[in-house]
Amino acid sequence: MKLHRRWSERVVLLVRFTLVSLQLSKQPPPPRRSVYTMSQVPAEDPGILRWTLGFLLVGIAWGLTNPFIRKAALTYTPTAWRPTRNPAKRVLQRGYDLLRHPSYAVPLTINLTGSVWFFLLIGRAELSLTVPIVNSLAFLFTVLGDWWADGKVVTWDTWAGIALVCGGIALCVSSKS
């Protein structure tokens, strides 16, 4: 019988607790500190020069480094490691070996830094402008990087394509302003 009483007392306590918590929930919550997201933070417009510089830096970081990464990967000779059956260990060994070579690691680091800059840009700039502009600039700088890294000749067709891409970027920008 004592067990039954204890159980019933627990039910009564649970009901009382629920009623008290319902009454407390009707009261307004205490004031909280404001938490802003990136789009809500009042910020000054950085100006056209800083936007242009940001777009160019990301385009350079992505496009200009690609030919150098490719060149380093083509001339890469792997270090002899002890054979292993573990595929994860093999991948880690190859990755470590590639990152030990500055001809691969430096352009890769710059390229990944460009991704961080891009992330910061899309947090502030208009997305429908940022993505096409930066990707187009990356293609343009890849052409220049091929010329610089491998000595590839830039033909008139390619120069015409570069001019058309720049015209497309100008159209995107003028349509938004």
Q: Using CA of residue 166, residue 171, residue 176, residue 177, what is the dihedral sign? A: positive
CB atoms within 10 A of CB 122: 16
Q: What is the pTM of this model?
A: 0.65
pLDDT, position 67: 92
CB 101, CB 127: distance < 8 Å? no
pLDDT, position 12: 67
| Structure-token match 């054979």, residue found | 83
Helix ranges restricted to H, 87-126: 87-99, 102-124
Helix, strand, or coil here: 79? coil
pLDDT, position 1: 47
Enclosing H/E stretch for 25: helix 2-25
Please measure the distance between the N-terminal and C-terminal CA atoms of the chain and give it in whole angstroms: 81
Q: Mean pLDDT per 10-residue run, the chain (177 residues)?
A: 58 63 58 57 68 90 93 84 87 84 89 92 85 92 91 92 92 81
Whole-angstrom Cα distance, residue 56 to residue 136?
10
pLDDT, position 84: 85
- Domain positions in the chain are 48-176
CB 130, CB 119: distance < 8 Å? no
pLDDT, position 83: 85
CB 147, CB 154: distance < 8 Å? yes
pLDDT, position 75: 85
pLDDT, position 129: 86
DSSP 28: P
CB 95, CB 89: distance < 8 Å? no
